[in-house]
Amino acid sequence: MTSILILNGPNLNLLGTRQPEVYGTTTLTDIENLCTAHANKHNIELKFFQSNHEGALIDAIHDARGTHDGIVLNAGAYTHTSVALMDAISSAALPVIELHLSNIHAREEFRHKSFIAPVAVGQICGFGAHGYELAIDALVRHLG
Ligand code: DQA
């Protein structure tokens, strides 16, 4: 069975109360439930992991090798700073869909730069929590 890791980075554990005007009121648990319901339709398996720590996210990417078929990654602010995460994705050689709740291109200029984009299959942003379902669909289709 196809297995996808849904990996969330820093501050995403605070979704629901964190800047609701930007990120909405959906919590990370709500998103996980949404993803699980969606995955059941596709008959695929999901694993969820969130960390505020760059190294833990890198370890999760490494550990995904041989365990999962691909990753949906919302790297939060590390998107805009982390060469180490970019290298981890290249090293793991697993397909990654980059995901953001907000439209990072319509926000501050520092959010326009993504270190994930060059090593991702593609990027989905600006669709809020629904973006996770879109990302799962994109990854399933990519995996064929
Ligand atoms: C985010 C966008 C990032 O710029 C920000 O640092 C986040 C969340 C998003 O989902 O819209 O933490 O990845």
Q: Which positions are annotated as active-site residues?
A: 23, 100
pLDDT at 132 > cutoff 90 = yes
- Split into its structural domains, the chain has a count of 1
Mean pLDDT of 3-14: 98
No. of H helices and E strands in the chain?
A: 5, 5
Confidence (pTM): 0.97
Question: Ligand 1 pocket, 2 CB below 6 A?
Answer: no
pLDDT the model gives residue 42: 85
CA–centroid distance, residue 103 to ligand 1 (Å): 9
The DSSP secondary structure of 71-117, one letter per residue, reads EEEE-GGGGGT-HHHHHHHHHHT--EEEEESS-GGGS-GGGT--SSG
pLDDT at 136 > cutoff 90 = yes
SS3 category, 26: coil
Domain containing 76 equals: 2-143
Which residue type, as a one-letter code, is found at position 97?
I
Q: Which residue has the higher pLDDT, 123 or 93?
A: 123
Question: Ligand 1 pocket, 28 CB below 6 A?
Answer: no
Residue 89 — very low, low, confident or very high, per pLDDT cuts 50/70/90? very high
Please report, for the domain that includes residue 87, its CATH number: 3.40.50.9100
Mean pLDDT of 110-130: 98
pLDDT the model gives residue 79: 98
Q: What is the pLDDT of residues 21-68, one digit of tens each?
A: 999 999 999 999 999 999 998 899 999 999 999 999 999 999 999 999
Mean pLDDT of 115-139: 98
